[in-house]
Amino acid sequence: MVEHLLSSNSTLIVTRTPLRVSFAGGGTDLPAYYEREGGAVLSATIDRFVYVILKRHSELFFEPIRINYSQSEQVERIDEIENNIARECLLFLGVEPPIYMSTVGDVPASTGLGGSSAFTVGLLNALHAYKGERVSPGQLAEEASYIEIDVLQEPIGKQDQYAAAFGGLNLFCFNPNGGVTTQQQRLKNGELKDLFRHVMMFWTGHRGSAAQVLAEQKENTERKLDTLRRMRDQAHELHELLDSGSFDIPRMGSILDEGWQLKSQLASTITNNEIDEWYGAALNAGALGGKLCGAGGGGFLLFIVPPDRQPSVRRALQDLTEMVALPEVHGSRVVIPFNG
């Protein structure tokens, strides 16, 4: 159900949608697995965002549609838009020209932090606001999943769309019937920030091809059921660990390390010698465990490291760029105009 909020004559709409890091279970959100046994992912959104700017395009311009992202498009009809996500979202919600849309992110695309799905969720949120509608996080997540998986036939799962829409630290359970259950991870005051004090992230400088990695993983599903089952169970184990209040950081590091060893078996392009060397150097320098964010092949390396060991890990990975990330508790939001 939608609720009328804004007039389509609103001058400017801006949405802010967070990126995410997944700690356990990534890969079990693919239909090839969860339709068999059900999957689970424990993830958290971070203070890095995708912004979408949307407005009615002025009749003073020659083109009725202008789309700005890493490229700029000026077209006459929506079905002429080359950006597949922008095109299908506009068609899906029946938004007619003249329309102007622009997007910018805090992090480059294809870095394993769910940027494409954050863009889809943020654009849908902006388009609903443009039409005067408020939508729930669950509706945004399902609409984004429909666009990416059903319409565009991307070989991806649902974890990124749900993380971007809901925000915060959550256990997402992907049921065989296609439904998704969201369990918000409620930590005591300050515990979520304390958790992220133990998180270090390093940009490898390489952008992985999620579609290529996930397509191979899909083909390997039948042979990797035991591996995927253990990865799914790790998400539940980490959820219970954090829910117990014990806040066992060494155990969390151990779970991430085991999960990375399992994930690297799912497809041949998930890791390579260079990534393995960086990972080993971090563990030798004091990291308790870690993983490569996203499908694999590049992106960000994430580690669990006690604060007193972080200078040593930083020195061991001095050739990589570190990104400090803090938790973000909100999912996709309309920030202009702001409605509280």
Half-sphere exposure of 114 (CA within 13 A, CB side): 33
Distances (CA, A) of 319 to 200, 202, 313: 15, 10, 11
Do residues 170 and 185 lie in contact, with contact meaning Cβ atoms separated by under 8 Å? yes
Convert the pLDDT of each residue in 135-163 to its tens digit.
Answer: 999 999 999 999 999 999 998 999 999 99
Q: Quick one: pLDDT band at residue 338, thresholds 50, 70, 90?
A: low
Q: Which residue has the tokens 């999620």?
A: 210
Question: Is 60 exceeded by the pLDDT of residue 47?
Answer: yes
66: which strand partners?
74, 100
Convert the pLDDT of each residue in 79-89 to its tens digit.
Answer: 999 999 999 99
Question: Is 90 exceeded by the pLDDT of residue 247?
Answer: no
Alpha-carbon torsion angle 173, 117, 89, 184, nearest 10: 40
What is the percent of the chain with per-residue pLDDT over 90, rounded to a whole number?
77
The contacts of residue 316 (CB under 8 Å, 6+ apart) are 281, 282, 284, 285
Reference 159, options 265, 301, 295; nearest CA is 295
Is the Cα dihedral 139, 142, 145, 150 positive or negative? negative
How wide is the angle at C-alpha 168 spanned by C-alphas 166 and 173, nearest 5°? Answer: 65
Question: Is 70 exceeded by the pLDDT of residue 34?
Answer: yes
Alpha helical stretches, state H, the chain: 31-37, 84-93, 115-130, 137-145, 159-166, 191-197, 210-219, 225-243, 249-263, 273-284, 310-316
Do residues 291 and 300 lie in contact, with contact meaning Cβ atoms separated by under 8 Å? no
Question: Is 70 exceeded by the pLDDT of residue 198?
Answer: yes
What is the set of domains in the chain, with CATH numbers? 3-336 (3.30.230.120)
What pLDDT shows up at residue 12?
A: 92
Report the pLDDT averaged over residues 23-32: 94
Question: Is 60 exceeded by the pLDDT of residue 23?
Answer: yes
What pLDDT shows up at residue 109?
A: 85
Question: Largest alpha-carbon pair distance within the chain?
Answer: 62
Query: What's the whole-number average pLDDT of the chain?
Result: 91
Report the pLDDT averaged over residues 35-60: 94
Residue 38 CA, distance from chain mean position: 20
* Amino acid occupying residue 224: K
3-class DSSP assignment, residue 177: coil
Convert the pLDDT of each residue in 287-329 to its tens digit.
Answer: 999 999 987 778 899 999 999 999 999 999 999 999 999 999 9
Do residues 209 and 266 lie in contact, with contact meaning Cβ atoms separated by under 8 Å? no
Rounded Cα distance between 226 and 339, Å, is 47
* DSSP states of 258-293: HHHHHHTTS-TTS--HHHHHHHHHHHHTT--EEEES
Higher-confidence residue: 8 or 33?
A: 33
Least confident span in 24-28, 109-113, 254-258: 109-113
Report the pLDDT averaged over residues 188-216: 84
Question: Is 90 exceeded by the pLDDT of residue 246?
Answer: no
24: which strand partners?
42
Which three-class secondary structure string do you get for 103-115? EEECCCCCCCCCH
Higher-confidence residue: 283 or 57?
A: 283
Alpha-carbon torsion angle 124, 127, 131, 133, nearest 10: 40
What pLDDT shows up at residue 131?
A: 94
What is the percent of the chain with per-residue pLDDT over 70, rounded to a whole number?
95
What pLDDT shows up at residue 188?
A: 74
Q: Quick one: pLDDT band at residue 67, thresholds 50, 70, 90?
A: very high
What pLDDT shows up at residue 239?
A: 94
Return the DSSP state at 236: H
Least confident span in 76-80, 174-178, 255-259, 266-270: 266-270
What pLDDT shows up at residue 104?
A: 97
Do residues 95 and 75 lie in contact, with contact meaning Cβ atoms separated by under 8 Å? no
Question: Is 90 exceeded by the pLDDT of residue 165?
Answer: yes
Do residues 85 and 103 lie in contact, with contact meaning Cβ atoms separated by under 8 Å? no
